[in-house]
């Protein structure tokens, strides 16, 4: 209203309006426009599409549209056995593949009542923390790139490459690892891999200091993030936000602490929490979590026990390949598990873990056969994206980019 | 560099227009990174310091189709996305090439489901297929070199008088 | 007092007659409630000072295929106070495939319900914006129903012509 009365006082403008009868105040200045951003846009982190309604530079409303990467995971899961689905979990959150692998097998193990040996559990923790570091590195790098600092993405990818090498050694693939198995992990972690992880941990510390110097010493970077996209504690809970985004809004909730799975109750770590809830807090949050993960990793590498990496449960856990080729019984078990599945009891379970993006949950409904009757994936990126309309309302267009970057969604997981 | 040494001695080189045009064409392929899902990460990795796609003259990733010669389709193309991919392809100026990166784009890959297009060659002319899920960055570079070989065989006069695609018509 | 016993007792006291089943499989507590009581139950669980289930984590449905009224809607809600995730189920007992929306209680249910609508065709009454989440507008089928084939129905999704 203010602006309109201002305009009515502007004599030059009034004269122009008077001279040109076709020009009305509505279409000359009251122009809200609708623009489309994505699904192919460098700043939307994949194939997210946003439709923005703008008044000048200000965002009046924003509607996210998903589904450009909807691959039908839940339908496919109903048509394949529990083991067959493991490779598909890699492609959910493809920046933290190991975390998904671990989450999925833990969920199946809960349903089927299997427990993996301690060494396997430790290896799972190690790989998921490595994965968390890799994911947060990408998050920080692409976030910085979104707000204009392209150097950062080069640096973080350089560090991430080292983690990829460790995974390459462990699982034979750079990031589509499919490393875990129901009842254990596919291959043992040898000394070489442990040495690589140790070396990486030594190198990440100074690298993080360097990166922080680059970013946080930069006035422009801070100015673009401070006070932008503030998410209050109440809204965060109401909108179902999870993970670092929730914690940076002041809710101290981390599944690793709240409901410890694996052996997270045996390691010592802090849960960083910020109360500001703005983009800068979300940036700091990820950096801090990365350091905490490095701290956890150090303890794990020291503590890792010796022993088996697959549980001994022939009806449900795949035997080792060398035994399949030499022993009759193992061959039969392998055949039965691969062809008819592990047949967990009738019932339904929900299991969730703390992924780098937030809480990843798997809800299984089993009817006693080899295929799940239903699998529902509760993906953190999906619920985090729900905050976009709330955060972007009233922001500037260039802030929208920063806000999406700070939420760090991955569309593979949000669209399922 | 070899060329300068020769030039210092003789002062000039002779070549054909075709050779020099195709050489220029193949050594500065500007990709349009159509990063849809997981493969996109490996595509970015190919540009990072370790693999360095700049060695092949293709580091200029443009996010607008109007400035590109090559579309790298990296990721699962769903039916909903297919319309978008096609529209972006139509906006690219001639001459243009397509690399199908990964199992998904080549054949649907591991997704035999209701929403995934079983291979982008159903609606795009693909020049190079890249195997792998995801293809390693080396493999993408290999695809790029294969494509450069293919581009190297083009003549200067090729791609002339190609009519512009009518965008609206092409959609349906 | 044990958290589960507390929840069950509180809910029984208030909703005794409409509580159909209480199950506890692998340490997951699940309450099955009559369909028309879902919003009052949610309201109670959210606002009771001892329970405070303030976050809705997930809404989905199960298609039982062979049962007469084939859908069950499943909710997962979380309480930070109790540090507990509770599952609520509601069977849809008639042909209308509809249930009251819980968006008035938890905003996060908005997208979850849209997703469930998209995948199963369950209508959420009083939902502010019930449209498809993943599949394109105009798609007529519901992919996660058991009678929908895995490979889809040819021609049901628009597809561009081949470029030369
Ligand atoms: S080929 Fe594999 S890595 Fe590439 S997009 Fe498809 S699933 Fe992802």
- Here the CATH number for the domain that contains residue C115 is 3.30.460.80
Nearest CA in chain A to C136: A67
pLDDT at site A6: 57
Q: Which of C87, C90, C92 is nearest to C25 (CA)?
A: C87
Answer whether residue C40 is part of any domain: yes
Nearest CA in chain C to B163: C164
- Indicate if the pLDDT at residue B162 is higher than 60: yes
Q: Is the CB of B134 under 6 A from ligand 1?
A: yes
Using CB atoms, which chains have 3+ pairs under 8 A with C?
A: A, B
Q: How many CB atoms lie within 10 A of CB A85?
A: 20
Candidates A176, A177, A410: which one to mutate for ligand 1, based on the most atoms within 8 Å of Cβ? A176
User: Of ligand 1's atoms, which has the minimum distance to the CA of residue B134?
Assistant: 3
Q: Report which secondary-structure segment, H or E, holds A411.
A: helix A411-414
Give me the percent of chain C exceeding a pLDDT of 70: 99
pLDDT tens-digit series, residues C96-124: 888 888 888 888 888 888 888 888 888 88
pLDDT tens-digit series, residues A230-240: 888 888 888 88
Report d(CA A331, CA A187) in Å as an integer.
Answer: 19
Answer whether residue B46 is part of any domain: yes
Spell out which residues of chain A touch residue B42, defining contact as CB-CB under 8 Å. 174-175
Using CB atoms, which chains have 3+ pairs under 8 A with B?
A: A, C
Q: Is the CB of B76 under 6 A from ligand 1?
A: yes
User: Of ligand 1's atoms, which has the minimum distance to the CA of residue B133?
Assistant: 2
A383 and C110 in contact by Cβ < 8 A? no
Structural domains of chain C, count: 1
pLDDT tens-digit series, residues B97-150: 888 888 888 888 888 888 888 888 888 888 889 888 888 888 888 988 898 888
pLDDT at site A40: 76
User: Of ligand 1's atoms, which has the minimum distance to the CA of residue B38?
Assistant: 8
Nearest by CB: B84 against A39, A76, A176: A39
Answer whether residue B149 is part of any domain: yes
pLDDT at site A3: 52
Candidates B35, B134, B143: which one to mutate for ligand 1, based on the most atoms within 8 Å of Cβ? B134
CB A67 within 8 A of CB A82: no
pLDDT tens-digit series, residues B74-91: 888 888 888 888 888 888
Candidates B110, B133, B139, B143: which one to mutate for ligand 1, based on the most atoms within 8 Å of Cβ? B133
Answer whether residue C89 is part of any domain: yes
R_g (Cα) of chain C, nearest Å: 18
User: A6-20, A62-76, A303-317, C71-85 — which is least confidently predicted?
Assistant: A6-20
- Indicate if the pLDDT at residue B172 is higher than 50: no
Pairwise pLDDT comparison (A31 vs C115), residue with the higher score: C115
Q: Which of A416, A350, A411 is nearest to A384 (CA)?
A: A411
C32 CB within 8 Å of a chain A CB: no
Which residues are paired to C73 by β-bridges? C61, C90
Q: Which of B90, B83, B70, B89 is nearest to B117 (CA)?
A: B83
User: A15-24, A136-145, A207-216, B61-70 — which is least confidently predicted?
Assistant: A15-24
Report d(CA A215, CA A283) in Å as an integer.
Answer: 10
pLDDT at site A13: 61
Mutate to test the interface with A, among B34, B35, B36, B73 (most CBs of A within 10 A): B36
- Indicate if the pLDDT at residue A28 is higher than 80: no
Answer whether residue B21 is part of any domain: no
- ipTM score for this prediction: 0.90
Token pair of A107 as six digits: 């969920």
Nearest by CB: C162 against B79, B90, B122: B122
Minimal C-alpha gap between A239 and chain C (Å): 4
B170 and C163 in contact by Cβ < 8 A? yes
Q: How many CB atoms lie within 10 A of CB A396?
A: 15
Confidence band for A29, pLDDT divided at 50, 70 and 90: low
Residues in contact with B63: Cβ distance below 8 Å, sequence separation at least 6, in sequence order = A40, A41, A42, B32, B33
How many separate helices (H) and strands (E) can be counted in chain C?
A: 3, 7
pLDDT at site A1: 42
Answer whether residue B158 is part of any domain: no
Q: What average pLDDT does the segment A117-146 reach?
A: 88
What is the rounded (10 degree) CA torsion for A392, A398, A404, A408?
-150
pLDDT at site A253: 87
Q: What average pLDDT does the segment A214-243 reach?
A: 85
Domain range list for chain A: 2-65, 73-415
CA of B50 from ligand 1 middle (Å) equals 21
Structural domains of chain B, count: 1
Answer whether residue B35 is part of any domain: yes
Average per-residue pLDDT for chain A: 84
- For Cα atoms A373, A374, A377, give the angle at the middle one, nearest 5 degrees: 155
pLDDT at site B171: 45
Answer whether residue C38 is part of any domain: yes
Report d(CA A215, CA A137) in Å as an integer.
Answer: 13
- Residue-number span of the structural domain to which B87 is assigned: 28-153
Q: How many CB atoms lie within 10 A of CB B87?
A: 15
SS3 call for A262: coil
pLDDT at site B1: 55
pLDDT tens-digit series, residues A260-274: 888 888 888 888 888
pLDDT tens-digit series, residues A205-216: 888 888 888 888
pLDDT at site B170: 45
Characterize the bridge pairing of strands B97-101 and B70-74: parallel
Answer whether residue C162 is part of any domain: no
> Tell me, what DSSP letter sits at residue A24?
-
Answer whether residue B162 is part of any domain: no
CATH number, domain of B75, equals: 3.40.50.12280
- Indicate if the pLDDT at residue B168 is higher than 50: yes
- Indicate if the pLDDT at residue B35 is higher than 60: yes
A161 CB within 8 Å of a chain B CB: yes
Token pair of C38 as six digits: 């879902």
Token pair of B93 as six digits: 């100026």
Q: What average pLDDT does the segment A137-151 reach?
A: 85
Q: Is the CB of A173 under 6 A from ligand 1?
A: no
- Residue-number span of the structural domain to which C97 is assigned: 3-125
User: A43-52, A222-231, A329-338, A392-401 — which is least confidently predicted?
Assistant: A43-52
Q: What is the CATH number of domain A73-415?
A: 1.10.645.10
Nearest CA in chain C to A360: C57
pLDDT tens-digit series, residues A169-200: 888 888 888 888 888 888 888 888 888 888 88
Spell out which residues of chain A touch residue C136, defining contact as CB-CB under 8 Å. 67
Q: How many residues does chain A have?
A: 416
- Indicate if the pLDDT at residue C66 is higher than 60: yes
pLDDT at site A335: 87
pLDDT tens-digit series, residues A346-394: 888 898 898 888 888 899 888 888 888 888 888 888 888 888 888 888 8
Answer whether residue B13 is part of any domain: no
pLDDT tens-digit series, residues C118-161: 888 888 888 888 888 888 888 888 888 888 888 888 878 878 77
Report d(CA A329, CA A343) in Å as an integer.
Answer: 19
CA of B12 from ligand 1 middle (Å) equals 49
A368 CB within 8 Å of a chain C CB: no
Pairwise pLDDT comparison (A81 vs A19), residue with the higher score: A81
C26 and A111 in contact by Cβ < 8 A? yes
Report d(CA C37, CA C99) in Å as an integer.
Answer: 10
Q: Which of A392, A354, A355, A377 is nearest to A48 (CA)?
A: A392
């Amino acid at each position: 209203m203010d602006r309109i009365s201002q305009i009515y006082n502007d004599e030059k403008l009034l004269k122009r309006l008077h001279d040109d009868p076709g020009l009305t105040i509505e279409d000359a200045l009251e122009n809200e426009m609708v623009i489309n951003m994505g699904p192919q846009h460098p700043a939307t982190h994949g194939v997210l599409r946003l439709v923005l309604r703008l008044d000048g530079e200000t965002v009046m409303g924003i509607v996210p549209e998903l589904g450009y990467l909807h691959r039908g995971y839940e339908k496919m899961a109903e048509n394949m056995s529990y083991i067959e689905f493991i490779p598909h979990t890699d492609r959910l959150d493809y920046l933290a593949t190991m975390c998904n692998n671990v989450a999925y097998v833990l969920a199946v193990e809960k349903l089927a009542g299997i427990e993996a040996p301690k060494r396997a559990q430790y290896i799972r923790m190690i790989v998921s923390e490595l994965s968390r570091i890799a994911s947060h590195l990408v998050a920080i790098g692409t976030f910085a790139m979104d707000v204009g600092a392209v150097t950062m993405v080069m640096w973080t990818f350089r560090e991430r490459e080292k983690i990829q090498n460790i995974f390459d050694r462990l699982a034979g693939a750079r990031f589509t690892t499919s490393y875990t198995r129901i009842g254990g992990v596919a291959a043992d972690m040898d000394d070489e891999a442990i040495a690589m992880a140790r070396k990486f941990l030594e190198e990440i510390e100074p690298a993080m200091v360097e990166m922080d110097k680059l970013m946080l010493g930069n006035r422009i970077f801070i100015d673009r993030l401070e006070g932008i996209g503030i998410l209050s504690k109440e809204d965060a809970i109401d909108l179902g936000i999870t993970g670092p985004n929730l914690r940076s809004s002041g809710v101290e909730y981390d599944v690793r602490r709240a409901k410890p799975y694996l052996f997270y109750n045996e390691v010592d770590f802090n849960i960083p929490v910020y109360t500001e809830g703005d983009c800068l807090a979300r940036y700091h949050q990820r950096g801090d979590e990365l350091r905490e993960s490095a701290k956890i990793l150090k303890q794990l590498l020291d503590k890792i026990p010796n022993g088996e990496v697959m549980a001994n449960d022939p009806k449900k856990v795949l035997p080792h390949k060398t035994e399949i080729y030499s022993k009759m019984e193992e061959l039969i078990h392998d055949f039965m598990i691969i062809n008819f599945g592990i047949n967990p009891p009738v019932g339904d379970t929900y299991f969730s873990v703390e992924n780098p993006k937030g809480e990843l949950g798997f809800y299984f409904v089993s009817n006693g056969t080899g295929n799940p009757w239903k699998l529902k994936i509760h993906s953190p990126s999906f619920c985090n994206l729900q905050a976009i309309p709330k955060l972007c309302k009233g922001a500037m267009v260039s802030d929208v980019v920063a806000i999406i970057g700070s939420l760090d969604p991955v569309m593979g997981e949000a669209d399922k | 560099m070899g060329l300068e040494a020769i030039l210092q001695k003789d002062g000039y080189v002779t070549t054909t227009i075709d050779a020099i045009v195709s050489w220029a064409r193949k050594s500065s392929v500007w990709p349009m990174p159509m990063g849809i899902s997981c493969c996109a990460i490996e595509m970015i990795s190919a540009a990072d310091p370790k693999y360095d796609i700049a060695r092949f003259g293709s580091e200029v990733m443009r996010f607008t189709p109007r400035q590109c010669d090559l579309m790298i389709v990296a990721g699962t193309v769903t039916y909903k996305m297919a319309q978008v991919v096609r529209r972006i392809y139509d906006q690219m100026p001639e001459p243009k090439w397509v690399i199908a990166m990964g199992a998904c784009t080549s054949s649907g890959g591991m997704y035999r489901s209701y929403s995934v297009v079983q291979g982008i060659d159903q609606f795009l002319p693909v020049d190079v297929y890249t195997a792998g899920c995801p293809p390693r960055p080396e493999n993408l570079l290999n695809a790029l070199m294969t494509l450069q070989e293919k581009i190297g065989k083009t003549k200067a006069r090729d791609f002339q008088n190609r009519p512009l695609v009518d965008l609206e018509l092409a959609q349906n | 007092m044990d958290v589960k016993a507390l929840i069950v007792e509180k809910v029984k006291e208030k909703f005794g007659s409409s509580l159909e089943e209480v199950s506890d499989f692998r340490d997951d507590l699940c309450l099955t409630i009559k369909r028309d009581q879902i919003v009052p139950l949610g309201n109670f669980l959210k606002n009771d000072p001892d329970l405070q289930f303030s976050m809705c984590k997930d809404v989905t449905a199960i298609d039982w295929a062979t049962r007469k009224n084939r859908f069950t809607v499943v909710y997962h809600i979380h309480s930070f106070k109790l540090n507990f995730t509770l599952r609520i189920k509601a069977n849809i007992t008639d042909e209308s495939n509809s249930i009251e929306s819980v968006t008035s209680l938890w905003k996060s249910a908005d997208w979850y319900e849209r997703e469930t609508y998209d995948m199963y065709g369950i209508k959420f009454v009083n939902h502010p914006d019930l449209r498809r989440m993943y599949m394109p507008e105009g798609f007529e089928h519901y992919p996660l129903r058991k009678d929908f084939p895995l490979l889809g129905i040819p021609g049901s999704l628009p597809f561009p012509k081949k470029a030369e």
